[in-house]
Amino acid sequence: MTCRCVLPIAAGLAEGPCWWSERNILLWVDIEASRIGLFDPATGNNDFFHLPAHVGAVVPTSVGDLLLATAAGLMRMDPSTGVVTLLLDPEVDRPGNRFNDGKCDPWGRFWAGTMAYDFEPLAGSLWRLDGDGRITRQRRQLTISNGLAWSQDRGTLYFIDSPTLKVMAFPLTSSGEIAAEPSICVQIPEDWDAVPDGMCIDAEGMLWIALFGGGAVTRWDPISGQLLERLELPCRQVTSCCFGGPHLDQLFMTTARREMDAAAIAAEPLAGGLFQADVGVKGLPADTFQVAG
């Protein structure tokens, strides 16, 4: 497997890629620049929308606009005008926190986790926003809430709290509620000097995990916990991945150049770019946020 840089944008902290199938566009965020990107792989064109707060995740909704998880709470944005509307901020009492990674589940609900800017241990939570606007805390005492994925049979939620170096598997009820305490399904070795970041799942049920500091995206069997494949990138700070393209057979990856000095950037000039690879397997369509009514 080989990857290529399709957008050498030099983002500080590119994250949260999400394939918007209705428009054949890759959505992504540049967290600390407070902007979302809309990238068209067919043309190579990328449009930015700037936001009033740092943004950790963006997903499409069933009515054609975008749902955002930001440092100021959850927002909706009309991509035709750029107008942003604040929905709610469940952590208004924690100004030192921001939303990080987020994704929609197969039931059309949005899950997004928080973290502290200073990486305070156990300061974050995992939240779920339902289509009727109700928000509920799903987990407490997280440090860097990160990758999310759901099994194709809807029976398992996979979740990463990065500093733990683990992927947790939560059993779900038929309506998508967490049914019991999780088990560990993937363990990242400590001697890799990398932490698991964003994550996605392919059509064969295998997990693809970005390794921040590890310069790679790795494919794992969540049942056996076995490492299956490793896709190397030309930069160490690999942040997330998702499947996209008209046939969902392309893996898109985001990277960062956070706190890199001039020498490090010279050694990794493509850091902060968007990458694409044909990995020989298809992904699953990204779920959209289902707006009630």
Residues acting as catalytic residues: 197
3-state SS class at 31: helix
Describe the chain by its helix, strand, coil percentages, rounded to 5: 5, 55, 40
For residues 139-157, b (16+ Cβ closer than 10 Å) or e, as one string? Answer: beebbbbbbbbbbeeeebb
Output DSSP code: residue 178: B
Instruction: Assign residue 272 a region (left: φ > 0; alpha: ψ between -120 and 50; beta: otherwise).
Output: left
Dist. CA 213–CA 51, nearest whole Å: 28
Contact 98, 74 (CB under 8 A): no
Contact 178, 111 (CB under 8 A): no
For residues 246-255, b (16+ Cβ closer than 10 Å) or e, as one string? Answer: eebbbbbbbb
> Under 8 Å CB-to-CB from 9, ≥6 apart: which residues?
30, 37, 46, 272, 273, 274
